[in-house]
Structure 1
Amino acid sequence: MYCDFYGLKEKPFTITPNPEFIFLSRNHREAFAHLLYGVDSHAGFIAMTGEVGTGKTTLLRTLLTQLDADKYRSALIFNTCLSWEQLLATICREFDITPVESSRFGYLDALNRFLLDQHLVGSTVVLVIDEAQNMAPDVLEQIRMLSNMETEQDKLIQIILAGQPELEDVLARHDLRQLSQRITVRCRLIPMGLNDTGDYISHRLKVSGCRIPNLFSRGAVKCIYRFSKGVPRLINIACEQTLVMAWTQERTSITKGMVAEVLAETGSFRRRGIMRRFLNWLAAGR
């Protein structure tokens, strides 16, 4: 498609969380620094929240790729609609732990032995739970109990809870106050400003190999910003659709008018149900 026309090695604006395309705005840098600090200082519990599409999963995946495999053992869990026993089984599977028996006690015993073994060899165990706002309160309370796996000097496992702003409401529940009190590092992702939006678009094009300077005009960037309000996922959707349109017209400069035309059509797409199919097409990376 347009990749050959624009000399791109890959599509720059897919909505899948790819660490290769990570762009750290000021707020993203601050959040990333909080995550690294929490892990390195063995804070125990870390919480990160942000609206849909602000880049939480991409930031988490980037964090995990930055951790030295010789010093860290990490796992990412994104299916959170689980019972406590199912979650324990998933944690064991992600860490390649084989319990003696498939029961709650068996999972906990095997996990505890794994954590102690990793501590003895100097490895830090990091468990990342994405979409944590979907977890049942009783499961979150059980997760708190994992922090009781510790030595006299240190926590044996570092747990990052990430989710939409609703996670803050869940953690504010009276029956979860003990968990909330144990979260010593908190950060929140917010949408980007106009300048960061322009830098974000340029960054993703550069990573994809684009050699056309200022492919998106300043006016086009402003139009995309007004539509997306600085949310990376919406920026990607607008840029992807505009690139497709520009390619069909063999244009090497994307103007404000072109973006406005694409976004105007987006409303009719949504009404006819075509937008859903388009998003599925984007997610599939086709």
Structure 2
Amino acid sequence: MSEFGTLNHRRTLGFTGSKGFRHLFCLESGVYLAYYGLTEPPFDITPNPRFLFYSAKHREAFNHVLYGIRERKGFVQLTGEVGAGKTTLCRAILDQLDGHYATALILNPVMSAGELMKAVGIEFGLPVNGLDRLDTLGVINQFLLQQVERGKDSVLIIDEAQDLTDELLEQVRLLSNLETDDRKLLQIVLLGQPELRDRLNNPRLRQLRQRITVRYHLPPLSRGEVNQYIQHRLEIAGAKGAPYFTQPALWRVYRYSQGIPRLLNAVCDKALLAGFVGQREEIDYRMVSRAVQELEGQLAA
């Protein structure tokens, strides 16, 4: 048995018998990488397009958004539950866009109208510090016109768009007004939770809603896709057959996560920690259940 399997070492890690998972999760994900022969954490919750799993619906969403951008549809709307993979998908789309596109990504739109306009300018690399909102809009408009003259397109992506106030949504609509006689100067992608659809159904936002020509709602993964998702991420991280999840463990992962990738990542990461401490290549139902309890704060102190 390796040194990690000795009783003393397991006690050091907080693994002591039936209640051995009690303090397990104070450990960081990286501790199990060498044991499983992984090159990087497979279930990091940070959006990373390299790890994107293209379920049928994720592929459809990817194609819808990319179509809206490339065909200059003006407004594109992508919604999904918290943790469904919208931001990761968006980053994959940004990676797909070549030097033909200038891109601006707003991750947190909780700001004033002036701050939003300035954030857009800064994301495009424009010298807008110290300018008021109208002057900033003028600088952005000039930049977008220059892009067209160079034969290039510009894309603005706003994440968490359900948090935009009505005032900010009106500012976004004004940005969409920037155009020449034959084309929109700016393609705008709104990413948000399902509440975004409800917001845009407000009669006050009718003008903005009518401009959205491409819409897609990203659903959770199915039971079968959850299994494929886990295997996909393990393989990207360098897994060579181990670790592996038993069928009951996979069922427990699905039952907890309901197919939401962010929850999948969280519970699988904790389960791999349990496997490392127990020196197990096989991740079983009990390990996943303990991971779920830890995530929900149900384990005794």
Matched residue, 2:151: 122
Q: Residue 283 of structure 2 aligns to a residue in which SS?
A: coil
**Which of the residues 16, 19, 23 maps onto 2:49?**
19
Corresponding residue for residue 183 of structure 2: 154
Aligned mates of 1:58, 1:43 — CA distance in 2: 22
* Identity, % of aligned positions: 45
1:39 matches 2:69:
yes
CA contact (8 A) 2:76 2:214 kept: yes
Identify unmatched segments of 5+ residues in structure 2: 1-30
1:165–1:100: structure 2 CA closer, same or farther, 3 Å change rule?
closer
Distance 2:293 2:111 in 1: 41
Shift of 1:84: 1.2
Change (3 A) 1:206 1:151: same
Asked if the contact 1:171–1:179 (Cα under 8 Å) also holds between the matched residues in 2, the reply is yes
Cα distance in 2 for residues equivalent to 1:190 and 1:227: 16
Identify the residue that residue 97 of structure 2 maps to in structure 1: 67
- The whole-number CA distance in structure 1 between the counterparts of 2:181 and 2:129 is 27
**1:223 partnered with 2:261:** no
**Structure 2 counterpart of 1:155, one-letter code:** K
| TM-score under structure 1 length normalisation | 0.91
Q: What is the alpha-carbon distance in structure 2 between the residues aligned to residue 271 and residue 156 of structure 1?
A: 54
Mapped partners of 1:196, 1:143: distance in 2: 36
Any stretches of 5+ residues in structure 1 without a counterpart? 275-286
User: Aligned letter for 2:263?
Assistant: L
How far apart, in 2, do the equivalents of 1:181 and 1:188 lie? 17
In structure 2, the partner of 1:97 is: 126
- 1:141: how far off? 1.2
Letter in 2 for 1:19: P
Separation (CA, whole Å) in 2 of partners of 1:95 and 1:131: 19
Aligned residues: CA RMSD:
1.6
Secondary structure in structure 2 of the residue aligned to 1:127: strand
* 1:277 match: none
- Corresponding residue SS for 1:251: coil
Distance 2:80 2:167 in 1: 23
Residue pairs, 1:227-242, within 5 angstroms: 227-242=256-271
1:29 paired with 2:63, answer no
| SS at 1:42 equivalent | coil
Q: What does residue 194 of structure 2 align with? A: 165
Q: Are residue 49 (structure 1) and residue 79 (structure 2) matched?
A: yes
Do the aligned partners of residues 144 and 266 (structure 1) sit closer, same or farther apart at CA in structure 2, a change above 3 Å counting? closer
- Per the normalisation by structure 2, the TM-score is 0.86
Paired amino acid for 2:233: R
Task: Provide the residue aligned with 2:110 in structure 1.
Answer: 81
**Cα offset for 1:223?**
1.2
